[in-house]
Amino acid sequence: MFSGAQFSIYPMTADFVPVIIDSIAALDAHGDKLRRETDDLSTLLVGPPDTIVQALRDAFVAAARGGAHVVLSATLSRGCPGEPDDPICTAPVIPPLQPGENPVAASLARYQPGAATDVPVTAQISLYPLGTDAHMARIGACIDFLKTVGVFDCAKHFCSKLKGDASTVFAAIERAFIDFAPPSAHVVLTVTISANSPSRA
């Protein structure tokens, strides 16, 4: 199994370089649980799916606390058959759904938003379960989860818009990425998340 993310931080300020560097420094809290690599377009994180999302939250919150309008854009991927297995990606085993078990209820039981960050965000996410003709059913179950957990704002073409404290939105994204396809399946999730926007509704 291989899992990770490519992410970028976009601070809408002329002084964008230190905001990006401080944001990436926030990843240090995850120590050697993640491997990372930065080029001119994005930073790669390789590690367990849950740690990946928590690290994105920490990087984004560090950037947003500077006060500038800032956006994080990320592509998260797990189970790609073209990627090599990597021990750093080993995640806690989640029991497979039993016949008749409700995926939304199972996911809600694992949802752990933790302490509020006091960083309100808007976001939009898309889930792509690949290699299966069951992708629309899985996306539908994920949207039901987002509604039930309270972060769903509205449907948009090609994505779901979310809002809430960064803690709740990233915790919901963590479950969306992990829970709505089998553990070994190839799944991609894309996210755009924004703070301090002057046009925020």
Point out which residues bind a second copy (CB under 8 A).
2, 4-6, 8, 10-14, 16-17, 39-42, 44, 46, 69, 71, 73, 75, 77, 80-83, 122-124, 126, 128-133, 135-136, 139, 156-159, 161, 186, 188, 190, 192, 194, 197-201
DSSP 162: E
- Closer CB to a second copy, residue 20 or residue 62? 20
CB of 41 to a second copy, least distance (A): 5
User: Angle 46-48-52 (CA atoms, 0-180°, nearest 5)?
Assistant: 65
The structure tokens listed for 176 are 């969306």
As measured in angstroms, the least distance from the Cβ of 170 to a second copy is: 16
When the beta carbons of 32 and 39 are compared against a second copy, the nearer one is 39
Q: How far is the CB of 126 from a second copy (least distance, A)?
A: 6
| Residue whose CB is less far from a second copy, 110 or 193 | 193
> Tokens in use for 191?
């996210």
Sign of CA dihedral 124, 173, 69, 43: negative
Residue with Cβ nearer a second copy (110 or 156): 156
Measure the CA–CA gap between 189 and 112, rounded to whole angstroms.
19
d(CA 144, CA 198): 30
Query: Within a 13 Å sphere around the CA of 57, how many CA atoms are in the beta-carbon half?
Result: 25
Which residue's CB is nearer to a second copy, number 149 or number 187? Answer: 187
100 or 120: CB nearest a second copy: 120
Question: Rounded to the nearest whole angstrom, what is the least distance from the CB of residue 98 to a second copy in the complex?
Answer: 25
CB of 34 to a second copy, least distance (A): 13
CB 107 to a second copy: min, Å = 21
Tokens of 76: 């998260």
10 Å Cβ neighbour count for 145? 23
Phi, then psi, of 172 in degrees rounded to 5: -70, -40
- The radius of gyration computed from the CA coordinates of the chain, to the nearest angstrom, equals 16
